[in-house]
Amino acid sequence: MSALFLRFYQLGDINKPVFDEVYFPNFAYHYIQQESFFHSHPPLAKYVMMAGMHIYHMLPWVNEPTLGSVPFNELNPVSYRWVNALLGFLSCCLFALSAYRLKKSHLFSLLVFAFVSFDGALLVASRFGLSNVHILFWGALSLYLTLLTLQKNNGYLPLLLGCSLAAVISVKWSGLSYWAITMAVLVIVVLLKSIRFKFKRFTHNNWPTIDKKGLKILSAITLVPAILYYLIWIPDLQLNTKYDFTETHRQFFTYHKNRVSEDAHPYCSKWYSWPLMQRPISYHFEKIPATDNQPRCFKNVHSFGNPVLYWMASLAMLTMLIMTIKQIAYMVKNKTFNSNQFTLLFITGGYLASWLPWSLVSRCTFLYHYQSASVFSFIALAWLLTTLLQGSKTHKYAAYTCLVILICAFVYWLPFQLGLPLSVDGFYQRMWFKSWI
């Protein structure tokens, strides 16, 4: 429950839009006011925020002006933040469920839930009206449905998987990474089955083969996302009539390619710096004057990942990548495929598919673009610590030491995520590097 509590704690304390809240929930409010606008991402996250505003104003204990009758800046920010807080918590649950499907280990699943729940950047993403957490939610659902589709003989699962993939792509185009992960996993399994690799130590036997079931799954994850993606655009295009579907996408592409330069924002960061969390993003900064009872304080909200978690997870991911390469060589030589190898391929493939495409982007990018990849690195760390905890006493002590350090780091930097006032000295003590400020 602490993961849920932290996402809803003082959700409206900062009573104004911060960072990109001037865009995403504001555009959602335009839908309510029936005012046309230009935006640069698909509309699904804005639809969900619009629904959140409607639900919030329907609550019996809410006494707010009629929705749509006041300017956006006068809205209670809880009205467009609470949905993200809920989706952030549900994302943690879905990633944990996917971990359990991978390894059938309660410990592994618990560690994944803990790391995703208490990472600072993911916590901040859940507490503000931005679109990043929507990618995580639909992406997590897609991963879970991918594993269920492989492991269960249920004709509805491929259709549900196609719907979830359509949803994640309809938040941002970067959601295509989840489609690539799903497609790669299914194609690899089908390919290995077709060339008669021996599948060993799999809990479930209903893995798709190169038959009607396999073709149905592949069709569902190509046709269903394409059709639903188009349908999701219909309400937006009925309001924003300046461009049709095709021209809207051309305008989007032009905007991202030409109008957002490489150094357009003070918090731009390079893709290769993200695993080290070199440049977090300040969402809100406020100076609180000194009083008779309290010295001068800073109230600050950073999209600030737990640095120790990022560093440990990056090392774990590097370790897993080396192991995966070795296992691929072993698979090819012996023509066998086991559940441990599948887990390695799933995690490393998901990480690389979510991270490496950003190396091709020349526009300004931010640390939050790494969030999907960071989750896979957290899963890699959970996998490594689970292995250590099941080993010798020395391995267990090493794992427990890592967990204690991670907990202490989470508590130490928590004021940056919740916007808790810090003394000036306390603020600068937590800014270990100039690039963090």
Q: What is the SS3 string spanning 327-358? A: HHHHHHHHCEEEHHHHHHHHHHHHHHHHHHHH
| Dihedral, CA of residue 189, residue 191, residue 193 and residue 195, to nearest 10 | -150
Structural Rg of the chain based on CA atoms: 23
d(CA 406, CA 308): 6
Those residues with Cβ within 8 angstroms of residue 14's Cβ, 6 or more apart along the chain or in another chain: 77, 284, 301, 419
344 contacts 327 by C-beta, under 8 angstroms: yes
pTM: 0.92
Q: Of the candidates 12, 15, 18, 7, which has an alpha carbon nearest to the alpha carbon of residue 85?
A: 7
d(CA 299, CA 286): 5
User: Helix H segments across 152-211?
Assistant: 156-169, 176-194
Structure tokens at 413: 């930097």
Looking at residue 66, the DSSP 8-state letter turns out to be: P
**pLDDT tens, the chain, 437 aa long:** 788 999 999 998 888 888 888 889 999 999 999 998 888 889 999 999 999 999 999 998 888 888 888 888 888 999 999 999 999 999 999 999 999 998 889 999 999 999 999 999 999 999 999 999 999 999 999 999 999 888 887 778 889 999 999 999 999 988 999 999 998 888 887 777 777 677 765 655 445 544 556 677 888 889 999 999 999 999 999 998 888 888 888 888 877 766 655 566 788 889 999 999 999 998 988 888 887 777 888 889 999 899 999 999 999 999 999 999 998 898 888 887 888 888 999 999 999 999 999 998 888 888 999 999 999 999 999 999 999 999 889 999 999 999 999 999 999 999 999 989 999 989 999 999 988 88
Helix axes of 44-58 and 24-33: crossing angle, nearest 10 degrees? 70
